[in-house]
Amino acid sequence: MRVTVWGENVHEQRDESVRALYPDGMHATIAGGLRALLDGADVRTATLQEPEHGLGGGVLAETDVLTWWGHAAHGEVADGLVARVCARVRNGMGLVALHSAHYSKVFRALMGTTCSLRWRNDGLRELVWTVAPGHPIAEGVPEVFAIPRHEMYGEFFDVPPPEELVFISSFAGGEVFRGGCCYTRGRGRVFYFSPGDQEYPVYHQAEVRRVIANAVRWAGPRGPVAPEPYPAQRSETGWFETR
Amino acid sequence: MRVTVWGENVHEQRDESVRALYPDGMHATIAGGLRALLDGADVRTATLQEPEHGLGGGVLAETDVLTWWGHAAHGEVADGLVARVCARVRNGMGLVALHSAHYSKVFRALMGTTCSLRWRNDGLRELVWTVAPGHPIAEGVPEVFAIPRHEMYGEFFDVPPPEELVFISSFAGGEVFRGGCCYTRGRGRVFYFSPGDQEYPVYHQAEVRRVIANAVRWAGPRGPVAPEPYPAQRSETGWFETR
Amino acid sequence: MRVTVWGENVHEQRDESVRALYPDGMHATIAGGLRALLDGADVRTATLQEPEHGLGGGVLAETDVLTWWGHAAHGEVADGLVARVCARVRNGMGLVALHSAHYSKVFRALMGTTCSLRWRNDGLRELVWTVAPGHPIAEGVPEVFAIPRHEMYGEFFDVPPPEELVFISSFAGGEVFRGGCCYTRGRGRVFYFSPGDQEYPVYHQAEVRRVIANAVRWAGPRGPVAPEPYPAQRSETGWFETR
Amino acid sequence: MRVTVWGENVHEQRDESVRALYPDGMHATIAGGLRALLDGADVRTATLQEPEHGLGGGVLAETDVLTWWGHAAHGEVADGLVARVCARVRNGMGLVALHSAHYSKVFRALMGTTCSLRWRNDGLRELVWTVAPGHPIAEGVPEVFAIPRHEMYGEFFDVPPPEELVFISSFAGGEVFRGGCCYTRGRGRVFYFSPGDQEYPVYHQAEVRRVIANAVRWAGPRGPVAPEPYPAQRSETGWFETR
């Protein structure tokens, strides 16, 4: 399994507080978690600032699962790349969208909705509850775990009803959030996971790393990613007879 | 629309605290809410203590939507009646299962799961969040409302993943609960709604009455309830040609 | 309920065969079916050739449910209008996408997939099977009905798994198609229905008219369509306390 | 992965035609397919005629995935065993229900519906279409394959709407059938697959064997099957704080 961890890498450059938590960038920490937990996975990173945002030169074409974190610079992601990423998801690549990637161009285009939500950065406790204990993404994840300090994300979360809802979060202020959502788009699979905000050490936390690793494994394609999107296909009567 | 509100009517007989809240029985209060909110609905009540639990003599056969509240005496409901209620649901009757009816024989038989859950009666605040704002059962229901004092019901709630999830509750202790769940069984529709416990005046509350009335309207059959369950049906080639 | 029937109106202008079937345009026939079956509905039509494709000047803003048929000129629909239609769906307007509208800009943007399919215009029989007999869109629709001559649409149909699957078609050549699919996008509801091709008198057929009328009623909003999309909403702790 | 292939083994004993196709019993052929396709799986068989139907003495307790084929003798399966099988599914064991097992006590109890369907044994061709090409159960399965001669199973199939619909069949007579359906019950997963009738060599066919092997792998639990069903669980405030 070839995994590319995409990081916007803006906060890490400009915010001392974020750099203190993620000295090599959030993407490096996320990638480290995957390398530790996914035997045999080939994990690399890519960032906004690289040419073609780090996804050119065959990188995207050699990616089986892409994780995406962005926040401050969604608008700077080139539309052409967004179209290529979405096409590859539909062709079978897995996508794991993390936290503020709910507002990324890629995720919004795949969902067809605003992906808006309620929020408040008060740094209080979030509890993540497993509501699909037999789901592959919940394997080895406790029935509930706490993120000691985090930003609140609350309902209404304007996404299509998830095909499978794996986690629901509650917050100290009383809000709830469907924070672990599975979707199918074409041959590809998409998982949205609401932790974690750049101001908190969420991606160092064992339970979060476990969920992301499980999600990458779940989202991975069963065979080769198709080279082209599904076409409109004219088929003669009995086209399947001689197969 | 002919609605029958079924009440176990045990706590009301033996617990002074419950009788104080519901002097005519919880079923009477629930029925009153439906009469006030559903124009033209024909609403009656039935209780465990009546012959055939109040559902004989044509009552069940003349019911389009049945609401069910039980807690202390699930085991006393006759198995034959349970089978007839389930069959009528599959034939098209709507069912609205309320609070501790999660453990009723009827609901468990229709779900195929244990319907177990976590609980704690600490009488603290429950918040009910709408997560499907365009759903008919959410019509006129605020994006969030509080039940000032209530029993906690928490995950994991062992039901099949709801076909539509309309409400999620959070509790003062941090728990969450999928408290508004839609299902299809045969031609019939089932809605589970987690409020309210007998110790609190939940069924007097406007938002709760609104949800239950919406659920009854949503669950109601589009045409006559079928007289018989779906049969195994041998059909000759072209059976539909002459229809 | 205010319904706008949008028709591309290209085949009717240039193809004698289509004009013979639909002398006033396909949109006029579809609108006639709705007027006949939906008591009290206010039904108008709009076409590609009109200014703002007939949806300007308040028409879109006064539409509760929009039906959409297009085929030959998807690319001519202005992107700004597409964005406004999609936004209004997310805000609560119903959308009923008909036949080749699977490839319309509006439907594709709401689905997030290619919406590709298999096809063959051999004019043989299609059978439409009801697989959700208790669904509002199936009300009064037989368990199976035939479209005597029609274009084949076959799997794989590259849409997200439908939230509710109401109809499946089979074709004389053996293909199948998920031809009646329900979706939620924001507060709005979307129904895709695969009949009918412009070369056949499908929209004159009673069963098809019944399905479309049911779909319009089902897709209609429960209250006023929201004026704005869901925003990203910063909410103070306890924002809901004083509501 | 420990797999038990349960076979009713009645037709094989009394019908020469079936014995000719399956001299060692249908269960032996199904088990052979699994052994050939699932590396490292421990596959055994059990039949109705054995003591405790072959599932006593620890066999059920040591089964991770159970496949079930029955037809002529559903009523002879002991109710106590049915309850134990259903409980083990809810605790995490996978279940793959095959063909006429739609009417088995186990499958009906888990579904909560009649599981009735339309049928006709005319021995004509069935086409199986993949409608979820990215699903694990569709891995390596062609977009369509034919079963040259088979019994027809047609809609309406009275099961809950499948959580994931992987295959739809069409038949020479025009009928369609949702023949590959996924469900969750508790921690366990259930797959229903409509091929094959005892009168045809369906379980010798490569595509069918592939689907069943994929389904077994998909349905397998992620960890140990729980020893007990989910309980009603009273939890003190903060019960999760010290975990």
Closest Cα in chain D, distance from residue C125 (Å): 10
Most distant CA pair in chain A, distance: 65
Q: Which residue of C has its CA nearest to B92?
A: C134
| DSSP SS3 for C33 | helix
> Which residues from chain D sit within 8 angstroms of residue B229, using beta carbons?
114, 116, 158
In contact, C177 and C154? CB cutoff 8 Å: yes
Interface contact B134-C92, CB threshold 8 A: yes
Question: And the tokens for C127?
Answer: 């059978």
Facing C144 at nearest CB: one of B132, B163, B240: B240
What phi, psi does B41 have (nearest 5°)? -75, 145
Buried b / exposed e over D63-85, threshold 16 CB at 10 Å, is bbbbbbbbbbebeebeeebbebb
- Render A179-202 in DSSP notation, one character per residue: EEEEEEETTEEEEEE----TTS-G
Residue C243 has pLDDT above 90, yes or no: no
pLDDT for C236 equals 94
Q: Please give the average per-residue pLDDT across C194-201, as a whole number.
A: 97
pLDDT per residue as tens digits for the range B188-231: 999 999 999 999 999 999 999 999 999 999 999 988 999 998 99
Nearest Cα residue to A79 out of C75, C79, C52, C74: C79
Residue of C163, C240, C241 to mutate when probing chain B, most B C-beta within 10 A: C240
Which chains does chain B touch, 3 or more C-beta pairs < 8 A?
Answer: A, C, D
Pairing between strand C176-185 and C164-171?
antiparallel
> Which residues from chain B sit within 8 angstroms of residue A125, using beta carbons?
174
pLDDT for A197 equals 97
> Which residues from chain A sit within 8 angstroms of residue C233, using beta carbons?
116-119
Beta-strand (E) ranges in A57-216? 65-69, 94-98, 118-130, 144-154, 164-171, 176-185, 188-193
Chain B residues with CB-CB distance to A under 8 A? 125, 127, 129-133, 143-144, 154-157, 161, 164-165, 168-170, 174-176, 178
> Which residues from chain B sit within 8 angstroms of residue C219, using beta carbons?
none
Chain D residues with CB-CB distance to C under 8 A? 125, 127, 129-133, 143-144, 154-157, 161, 164-165, 168-171, 174-176, 178
Interface contact C158-A186, CB threshold 8 A: yes
DSSP-assigned beta bridge partners for residue B90: none
Interface contact D134-A243, CB threshold 8 A: no
| DSSP SS3 for B41 | coil
- Packing angle of the helix pair D26-37, D206-219 (nearest 10 deg): 70
Chain B residues with CB-CB distance to C under 8 A? 92, 127, 132-134, 136, 138-140, 142-144, 146, 163-164, 184, 186-189, 221-223, 240, 243
Structural domains in chain B plus CATH codes: 2-112+180-219 (3.40.50.880)
Question: And the tokens for A202?
Answer: 């969420």
Q: Which residue of B has its CA nearest to D107?
A: B112
State the Cα–Cα distance between residues C115 and C102, nearest whole angstrom: 6
pLDDT for A166 equals 98
In contact, A221 and A92? CB cutoff 8 Å: yes
Closest Cα in chain B, distance from residue D53 (Å): 22
> Which residues from chain C sit within 8 angstroms of residue D178, using beta carbons?
131, 168
Interface contact B160-D183, CB threshold 8 A: yes
> Which residues from chain A sit within 8 angstroms of residue C151, using beta carbons?
none
Q: Which residue of D has its CA nearest to B116?
A: D232
State the Cα–Cα distance between residues C71 and C9, nearest whole angstrom: 9
In contact, B220 and B65? CB cutoff 8 Å: yes
> Which residues from chain A sit within 8 angstroms of residue C231, using beta carbons?
116
Q: Please give the average per-residue pLDDT across C172-187, as a whole number.
A: 97
Alpha helices by DSSP H, listed for chain B, are: 11-14, 16-21, 26-37, 79-91, 105-111, 206-219
- Tally of residues, chain A: 243
Listed in sequence order, the residues at least 6 apart from D18 whose beta carbon sits closer than 8 Å to its beta carbon are: D11, D12, D26, D198, D199
Facing C131 at nearest CB: one of D156, D164, D169: D156
Number of inter-chain CB pairs under 8 A, B vs C: 47
In contact, B219 and B205? CB cutoff 8 Å: no
Q: Tokens 């002879």 — which residue?
A: D76
The whole model's pTM is what?
0.97
What is the pLDDT confidence band of residue A243, given thresholds at 50, 70 and 90?
low
Beta-strand (E) ranges in chain A? 2-7, 42-47, 65-69, 94-98, 118-130, 144-154, 164-171, 176-185, 188-193, 233-234
**Tens-digit pLDDT string for chain D (243 aa):** 999 999 999 999 999 999 999 999 999 999 999 999 999 999 999 999 999 999 999 999 999 999 999 999 999 999 999 999 999 999 999 999 999 999 999 999 999 999 999 999 999 999 999 999 999 999 999 999 999 999 999 999 999 999 999 999 999 999 999 999 999 999 999 999 999 999 999 999 999 999 999 999 999 998 899 999 899 999 999 999 875
Interface contact C118-A86, CB threshold 8 A: no
State the Cα–Cα distance between residues D109 and D125, nearest whole angstrom: 31
pLDDT for A242 equals 72
> Which residues from chain C sit within 8 angstroms of residue A116, using beta carbons?
229-233
DSSP-assigned beta bridge partners for residue A67: A5, A96
Nearest Cα residue to D183 out of D113, D128, D119: D113
pLDDT per residue as tens digits for the range A206-226: 999 999 999 999 999 988 999
What phi, psi does B217 have (nearest 5°)? -65, -45
User: Cα-Cα-Cα-Cα dihedral of B155, B158, B162, B166, to 10°?
Assistant: -30
Residue B243 has pLDDT above 70, yes or no: no
Question: And the tokens for D126?
Answer: 């069935």
Facing B113 at nearest CB: one of D113, D119, D186: D186
In contact, A132 and A164? CB cutoff 8 Å: yes
Chain A residues with CB-CB distance to B under 8 A? 125, 127, 129-133, 143-144, 154-157, 161, 164-165, 168-170, 174-176, 178
Please give the ipTM for the structure prediction. 0.96
pLDDT for C222 equals 87
| DSSP SS3 for A218 | helix
In contact, C156 and D143? CB cutoff 8 Å: yes
Residue of C222, C230, C233 to mutate when probing chain B, most B C-beta within 10 A: C222
What phi, psi does C235 have (nearest 5°)? -125, 125
pLDDT for C185 equals 98
DSSP-assigned beta bridge partners for residue B65: B3, B94
Residue B64 has pLDDT above 90, yes or no: yes
Interface contact B119-D235, CB threshold 8 A: yes
CB atoms within 10 A of CB C192: 26
Pairing between strand D94-98 and D188-193?
parallel
Q: Please give the average per-residue pLDDT across B35-61, as a whole number.
A: 97
Average pLDDT over chain B, rounded to an integer: 97
Facing C132 at nearest CB: one of D130, D161, D170: D161
Q: Which residue of A has its CA nearest to C121?
A: A234
pLDDT for A222 equals 87
Buried b / exposed e over D158-167, threshold 16 CB at 10 Å, is bbbbbbbbbb
Q: Which residue of D has its CA nearest to C126?
A: D174
Question: And the tokens for B106?
Answer: 């009827």
Question: And the tokens for C132?
Answer: 């959700």
In contact, D176 and C170? CB cutoff 8 Å: yes
State the Cα–Cα distance between residues A48 and D90, nearest whole angstrom: 45
> Which residues from chain D sit within 8 angstroms of residue C131, using beta carbons?
155-157, 176, 178
Closest Cα in chain D, distance from residue B106 (Å): 10
CB atoms within 10 A of CB C23: 10
Q: Which residue of D has its CA nearest to A137?
A: D222
State the Cα–Cα distance between residues A55 and B193, nearest whole angstrom: 47
Chain C residues with CB-CB distance to A under 8 A? 86, 90, 103, 109-114, 116-120, 122, 154, 156, 158, 160-161, 163, 173-175, 183-186, 229-238, 240
State the Cα–Cα distance between residues D220 and C116, nearest whole angstrom: 33
- Render B181-223 in DSSP notation, one character per residue: EEEEETTEEEEEE----TTS-GGGSHHHHHHHHHHHHHHS-SS
Interface contact B221-C142, CB threshold 8 A: no
pLDDT for D243 equals 58
Interface contact C175-D175, CB threshold 8 A: no
pLDDT for B73 equals 98
Facing B168 at nearest CB: one of A125, A132, A168: A168
Nearest Cα residue to C197 out of C117, C78, C79, C109: C117
In contact, B122 and D237? CB cutoff 8 Å: yes
Interface contact C155-D131, CB threshold 8 A: yes
Average pLDDT over chain C, rounded to an integer: 97
> Which residues from chain D sit within 8 angstroms of residue C124, using beta carbons?
none
